[in-house]
Chain A
Amino acid sequence: MMKNNVSFFRKNYGIFVFLLVMLVLPFVFGLFEGSTIGMIWRNQGSVSRFIQGLGIEIFILALFALSYDLLFGITGLLSFGHSMFYAVAAYGTGIALKTLSFPFWAVILLVCVTAVIQALLFSLVLPRVKGIIFTLVSLGLASMFHIIVRSSDLISLTGADVGLQGVIVPAFINPASQRLRFFSFALLLLVVVYLFYKQFIDSPTGRVCIAIRENEDRAKMLGYNTSHYKFIVMLISSFTASIAGFLHALYQPIISPSVADIGFTVTGLLIVLIGGVGTLNGAIIGAFILRLLDFYLRRFIGQSASFITGAIYVVFVLFVPFGIVGTWRMKRNDIKQGWARFSSMLNPKKVELD
C-alpha cells in the first residue's frame, strides 16, 4: 500500500478545487447576467437559478453514478436493478411527504431503512447466483418494482404513468425558494460521499472488493468471505443511490416512473463508461458530460437526441473502453510528451534554451 504521509487535503485537492469552483459558479454566472451578489444570495436572478438547477441535477446523477461505479467498476457486479434503489427512495420520500405527511426526520429515517432492506434483499440473492444470472435476477427485481409503480392499482399513491406530483417540500430546503441552499447541500453531500468512497477503496475492505472484481475464486481461496464483502458494498451502494433518489424527490416537481426503468440504470452505466469504469472522479466527470450533452442536444437536435447517446455508447465501448479518466491515467505521460513536442514545434526558441 502507498505511504500515508501525504496529507489528506493534499491527496484530494482536486475535489476541494471542484467544491470551491462549484460554489463560486452561481455567483459568477449571476454577475454576468447583471445581478448583484446579494440578489443571488436571496435566490433571485434567473440565469444563476437555472445554472444552480442544472448543477443540482448533475450532482444527483453523479451520486447515482458513484454508487453504480462502486458496484460495477470496483466490485465487478453488473446489476441491472440499480435504478430500483434510486426509485424506491424517490417514491418513498414523495409518498411519505405527500400522502403520509411524515415529519422530515422521519422521512430521512424511512429512506435509510428502505436502503438497508433493499441491500439485504439483493444480498440474499447474491450468493446464489453469479455473473450474468445475477444481472438477470436484478433486472427482474427492478422491473417488478417498475411494473408495480406504473400499475393503475396504486394510482392514488404513485400516480401511475404520469408520476408522483405535488410533493410538499419543507420550506427550509425547498428548491423553489431556497435554491442556493439546496445547491450547496447537494454539492456538499456529493463531496462527502466522494471522499468517503475514496477512503473506502483505499481501506483493506476496498482492496478485497477490487480483488473480487479481478478474480473472485482467488479471493475466496485466500480466505475472504466474498459474500460478506459484497454485502458491505451493496449496502454502501444502495445507501448512496437512496440519497440520490431522496434528493431527486425533493428537487423534481414530478417523480416519473421512468426513474425505476432499466433505462435509468443504463444511464448510470453510460456515465460510468464515459468517465472510466472503476474511477471515482470519472463518475462525476461523466455525469457532467452526459447531462450537459443531453441538455444541449435536446435543445439543438430535438427528439432524436438519444440517437447521439447511443452512438456515444458504441463509440466509447469500441474506441475509449477505459473512459476519459482511465485513458488519461494510462496515456498521461504520452500526452504530456506529445504536448511538449507540439509546443516545441510552435516555439523553437524554447528548445534551444533547454
Chain B
Amino acid sequence: MKTYLKKNSTTVIIFIIIAVVFFIAAQGMETSQFVITILRGFSTGSVTFLVAAGFSLIFGLLNVLNLALGALYMIGAYIGWTVYVRPDTFIDVLTPLLIILSGFTLRDVWSFIITRFRLNRVKHKKWISWGLILMGLVLLTLIMARYPIAIWDLDNYPQSPITYSFMADQGMRLTPIEATFEEISPVIALLGLLIGSCLLAFGIANNKNSTSSNVKVNWKSFVLFAGLGLTAVLILIFNPQLTNFLLIISTNWLFVIAIMVAVLTGLGLGALLESTLIRPLYNRPIYQLMLTIGIATIGIEIVQAVWGRPEFVWPKPAIFRGTGEGCPATSLVDLWEYNCSTIFMLGGRVRVYDEIFIPIVGIFVLVLVWIILKRTRIGMVIRAGVQDSQMVEALGINVRRVFTQVFSLGVGLAAFGGALAAPSVGLSTTMGERLLLSALIALAIGGLGSYPGAALGSLLVGLTQQFLIRYGQIGIPIPFTDIVFKPSPPIVPASTVFLMVMILLILPCGLLGKKENS
C-alpha cells in the first residue's frame, strides 16, 4: 500500500484535487439540484462510456485510434430509429441483405474451387478478381435500384422522417404503403442478388494471396447458406404479416428489437470494416488513423443522403412516457403502475429514461464487458494481446481473428450507445462529432487502452459537463467580488478539453494508463 502510494503519488493527488473540486461544487447547490446533476452526469457519462469503451478496446489491442466511431455511433442511432419508426422499411431491407450475406457464407467453397482449379496461379489474377468484384457490384446496384423498398421521401414533407417521427410520437401508427415488385420480378431479383453476391465473394476470395493448397469445405457453411437463403425467402413471403406484427406489438418490445438491430448492425459493420479496410494497413498505424477519418466522412455523407439533414426525434417507448393520472410518480410502485416519464426523487423531478435508465444500462454494460474481459477465454486472449500481441501469436492463437472480434465489439458498443442516447438527445447528423470529442477526452483522461480508465474518464467528463451546465444557470460567485460568473453553454465542452490537457500534461499516460518505461 505504501509503495503504491509512493509510486502513484501524482495520480492520488490529482484524484484528491478532483474530489475536492466536486465537493466544493456540490456545496453550491441544493440537494435536489445536486441529485439531478449527479444523475445527469452519470447519464452523459454512460453514453460517452459506451463509445470510449469501444475506443479503448480497439486501441488497446489493435493500436488503432478509430476516429470513425463517432460516425458509427450516429449510424447506430439512425438504424435503431428506422426499426422503431418504420418497421416496414426494416423488413423490406432484410431480404436483399440476407441474400447478399449468403453469398459470403460460402467462402470456404470459393477458396476450395480456387485452389482446386489452380485459379490462384493464373496470370493477371489481380485483374480477374477486380473485374469479378466490379461485375458483382454493378449487378447488385442494378438490382437494388429496382428492388422495392418502402421508404420515406426526403423531398416530400408529409412523408419525410420528421413527419413519421412526429406521428409516432403522437401515438399514431403509420399505415404502411406496401412496396410491390413492379419493375422487376421477384425471382429475377433474388437470383440476381445471389449471383451478384457470389461474384463479389468469389472475387474477394480470389484477390487474397493465400498459398495454402488444402482447403477443406465444411458442411456448416452450406447449412448457413441454405438457412440464410431460406430465411430471406420466408421474410419476403411473409413480409406483410411481419410488418403488421411489428406495428401491433407494444413499443417497449419494438424498442428492444430496435436496439438489438442497431447493435447487430454495429457488430457487422465493425467486422466488415476491419476485415476489408483496416487489415491491410497494420504495419502503417498513421494511415489507419487517416483511413478512419475517411470512413467517418463517408458515413456522415451516407446518413445525410439517406435520412436527410434536418434533425428529428426518436419517440420514447411506452414504458417511459406515461403522463396524466398518477404522474409524476412519487414511489417505485407508482412508477411501475403508471409508466411515468418522470419521478420525484429526494425532492427533485427526474426523467426516468434519461436519468435513470441510461445510467443503469451503462453500468450493466460496464460490468458485462468487464466479466467478458476477466472471465472468458477470449477476454484472456484480449488482455494478453494488449500486453504483447506478437507473443500471443507465437503461442499459436489466431490473433487476427481476435482483432476482428474486438474491432466489431467496439463498433457494436458505439452503435449501442447511439441507439441508447438517441431517444433522449434526438437524431442529428452532427451527434457523432460532438460525442467523438467527449469520448476522446474521456479516453485520454483515463489512459489510452485502459478499460477502467475509459469508464473513469467518461464519468469525469459527464459530471464536469453537467455541473458546468447547472452552474451556467445558477452562476458561480467569484470570491471577494460581487461578480457572478455564468459559464455559457459553449464553455462546457471547452472545460472538459481543458481538464484533459491539464491531466495529460501532468500525467502523460492518463489517470489509469500504463506507464511507459523510459
Contacts and interface: CB of A to CB of B under 8 A. Distances in A.
Given A306-B301, A307-B305, A314-B295, A125 B505 contact: yes
Contact of B504 (A129, A266, A312): A129
Interface in A220-271: 266, 269
A130 B287 CA distance: 18
Interface bracket on A: 35 or more
Contact of A317 (B294, B448, B498): B294
Interface in A142-196: 143-144, 147-148, 150-153
Contacts of A307: 297-298, 301-302, 305
A311 B296 CA distance: 10
Interface of B: 65, 277, 280-281, 284, 286-287, 289-291, 293-298, 300-302, 304-305, 437, 440-441, 443-444, 448, 488, 490-491, 493-494, 497-498, 500-501, 504-505, 508-509
Nearest to B302: A307
15 contacts: A129-B505, A132-B65, A136-B440, A136-B504, A137-B504, A140-B498, A144-B497, A304-B301, A304-B304, A304-B305, A307-B298, A311-B294, A313-B290, A314-B277, A317-B294
B301 A140 contact: no
A151 B304 CA distance: 26
A155 to B, nearest CB: 10
Given A140-B441, A310-B297, 9 more contacts: A128-B505, A137-B444, A153-B488, A269-B293, A310-B294, A313-B290, A314-B277, A314-B295, A317-B290
Nearest to B518: A130
Nearest to B506: A128
Contacts of B296: 310
Contacts of A140: 441, 444, 497-498, 500-501, 504
Nearest to A130: B508
A218 to B, nearest CB: 15
Given A130-B508, A307-B302, A313 B497 contact: no
Contacts of A144: 494, 497-498, 501
A141 B500 CA distance: 10
A317 B494 contact: no
A133 interface: yes
Contact of A147 (B281, B289, B490): B490
Nearest to B294: A313
A48 B330 CA distance: 74
Given A140-B441, A304-B305, A147 B294 contact: no
Contact of B293 (A128, A148, A151, A266): A266
B448 A314 contact: no
Contacts of B280: 318
Interface string A117-140: 000000001001110110111011
A144 B501 CA distance: 10
B438 to A, nearest CB: 11
A62 interface: no
A317 B501 CA distance: 30
Most chain-A Cβ atoms within 10 A of its Cβ — which of B280, B304, B448, B497?
A: B497
A114 interface: no
Contacts of A132: 65, 448
A147 B488 contact: no
Contact of B490 (A136, A151, A304, A313): A151
A128 B323 CA distance: 55
A309 interface: yes
B505 A78 contact: no
A128 B305 contact: no
Contacts of B501: 125, 137, 140-141, 144
Interface string A52-72: 000000000000000000000
A304 B443 CA distance: 32
B290 A136 contact: no
A283 B296 CA distance: 23
B504 A317 contact: no
B490 A150 contact: yes
A306 B297 contact: yes
A272 to B, nearest CB: 10
A148 B494 contact: yes
A23 to B, nearest CB: 35
B297 A143 contact: no
Given A125-B505, A141-B501, A273-B290, A311 B298 contact: yes
Interface in A307-354: 307, 309-314, 317-318, 321
Given A140-B441, A310-B297, A128 B508 contact: yes
A313 B291 CA distance: 7
A44 to B, nearest CB: 40
Nearest to B509: A133
Contact of B440 (A139, A148, A314): A139
A128 B506 CA distance: 8
A312 B291 CA distance: 10
A303 B309 CA distance: 11
Given A128-B505, A147-B490, A317 B291 contact: yes
A286 to B, nearest CB: 14
Most chain-B Cβ atoms within 10 A of its Cβ — which of A141, A303, A310?
A: A310
A-B complex: 7 closest residue pairs judged by Cβ atoms = A313-B294, A310-B297, A151-B490, A307-B301, A310-B298, A314-B294, A147-B494
A337 to B, nearest CB: 19
A202 B109 CA distance: 56
Nearest to A311: B298
Contacts of B504: 128-129, 133, 136-137, 140
A314 B65 contact: no
B294 A143 contact: no
B289 to A, nearest CB: 7
Nearest to B444: A136
Contacts of A269: 290, 293
A133 B290 contact: no
Contacts of B509: 133
Contacts of A318: 277, 280-281, 291
Interface string A187-216: 000000000000000000000000000000
Nearest to A261: B433
Contacts of A147: 490-491, 493-494, 497
Nearest to B440: A136
A303 B303 CA distance: 13
B290 A151 contact: no
A269 B500 CA distance: 24
Contacts of B497: 140-141, 143-144, 147
Contacts of A313: 290-291, 293-294, 297
Contacts of B277: 314, 318
A309 B448 CA distance: 30
Nearest to A132: B65
A144 to B, nearest CB: 5
Contact of B448 (A133, A266, A303): A133
Contacts of A312: 294
Nearest to A151: B490
Nearest to A125: B505
B287 A317 contact: yes
A83 to B, nearest CB: 14
Nearest to B305: A304
Contacts of A266: 293
A327 B179 CA distance: 49
B297 A309 contact: yes
Contacts of A129: 504-505, 508
A341 B444 CA distance: 55
Contacts of A139: 440
